[in-house]
Copies of this chain bind each other. A is one copy, B any other.
């Protein structure tokens, strides 16, 4: 699914033209460019639409911070798409640039995997909902909404991972889990970096006062805005949980060290005095009257058992056993 922009223009134009043959409403053109490494395609498109050189540069740089710019003739949006790769069980990310003009929407991204865009294409093809009757601002909303909805899916997976880790951590803490915890924390940092500026982007679109955004679209944008805040809340909650889990992990290490120390202390404290007593009667002094007593040996065993048992009782009373 690698589109050439001109061919794509034709196809989409036709299908949209087919969709509104009976109306004199302004035709919406949606150009989706996959593979922004094809610099010349992007530049040709930029020249055709009169885009600012800095906008094209931002489009080609895949490490952009999400942002929205109002260049009066068009709005330029960069956002980050997140998705969960079930195969490799990890988060994948891609940048998408969206240009909203008065009669067109251009979306540019690197990889063709159009999971996020596909449902919107289907809605346009099947003329589901009101998307065919709306302008490019509604299409941009639909794109943003699709992207943010995908965030919830990613969050759900991360949330499951966090809860799995928490259960394991409470049951059998191992040093590896700290690494897992650290990895999850990094992914939270990453998500937060994607979502925080997105909120500003959507808020900027909503309040920005650009004439390209119709009044009727504002309520939809506010909905996306609410969703991004919900995502942020969830990210913060997961972060709080992770830092609480670190406390649990560290104190469980301390607890186990405590337990190890108690075992050592109990063994050593019981047997070291007894060994001393045995050592005393192993001495070779010529005059040790006890050695000759008839019942000395069994009596000593009783004494040693008594000492050992009273130590055990003492440790039990101290709750060490």
Instruction: Give chain A interface residues in 261-290, CB to chain B under 8 Å.
Output: 261-265, 267-269, 271-276, 278-288, 290
CB atoms of A268 and B264 under 8 A apart? yes
Asked if B278 contacts A283 (CB within 8 A), the reply is yes
Given A226-B65, A230-B65, verify A241-B271 contact (CB < 8 Å): no
Q: In whole Å, how far is A72's beta carbon from the nearest beta carbon of chain B?
A: 11
* Copies of the polypeptide in the assembly: 5
List B contacts of A291 (CB < 8 A): 284-286
In A174-193, the 8 Å CB interface with B consists of 175, 178-179, 182, 185-186, 189-190, 193
Q: Which of A212-271 contact B (CB under 8 A)?
A: 219-220, 222-223, 226, 229-230, 233, 237, 240-241, 244-258, 260-265, 267-269, 271
Among B67, B240, B275, B284, which residue has its beta carbon within 8 angstroms of that of A189? B240
- Cβ of A247 to closest chain B Cβ, rounded Å: 6
CB distance from A48 to the nearest CB of B (A): 20
For the complex, is A296 an interface residue (Cβ under 8 Å from B)?
yes
Which of the residues B52, B280, B282 comes within 8 Å of A219, measured between beta carbons?
B52
Whether, in the assembled complex, A71 has its beta carbon less than 8 Å from a beta carbon of chain B, the answer is yes
A54 at the binding interface (Cβ < 8 Å): yes
Asked whether A54 lies within 8 Å of B223 as measured between CB atoms, the reply is: yes
Residue of B223, B237, B279 near A282 (CB, 8 A) is B279
Residue of B nearest to A288 (CB): B297
Determine the residue in chain B with the shortest Cβ distance to A57: B223
Q: A128 interface residue, CB < 8 Å from B? A: no
Shortest Cβ distance from residue A281 to the other chain B in the assembled complex, whole angstroms: 4
CA distance A292 to B283 in the complex (A): 12
Residue A12 lies at the interface, judged by CB distance under 8 Å to chain B: no
* A284: nearest chain-B partner, CB-CB: B291
| Of B69, B233, B260, the contact of A193 (CB 8 Å cutoff) | B233
Contacts of A317 on B, CB cut-off 8 Å?
none
Q: How far is the CA of A170 from the CA of B282 in the complex (A)?
A: 48
Q: Are A189 and B250 touching (Cβ within 8 A)?
A: no
Interchain CB contact under 8 A, A258 and B255 = no
Across-interface contacts of A276 in B (CB, < 8 A): 271, 274-275, 278
Provide a sorted-by-A list of 20 A–B residue pairs whose CB atoms are within 8 angstroms.
Answer: A64-B230, A65-B229, A69-B222, A178-B251, A178-B252, A179-B248, A182-B244, A186-B241, A250-B254, A254-B257, A257-B258, A258-B260, A261-B261, A268-B268, A268-B272, A271-B275, A274-B279, A278-B280, A284-B288, A287-B296
Which residues of A line the B interface, CB within 8 A? 52, 54, 58, 63-65, 67, 69, 71, 170, 172, 175, 178-179, 182, 185-186, 189-190, 193, 219-220, 222-223, 226, 229-230, 233, 237, 240-241, 244-258, 260-265, 267-269, 271-276, 278-288, 290-297, 300, 319-320
List 16 additional A-B contacts (Cβ < 8 Å) besides A267-B269, A268-B272, A287-B297.
Answer: A189-B241, A254-B257, A256-B258, A257-B257, A257-B258, A267-B273, A271-B272, A271-B273, A271-B275, A274-B276, A278-B279, A278-B280, A282-B283, A285-B293, A286-B296, A287-B296
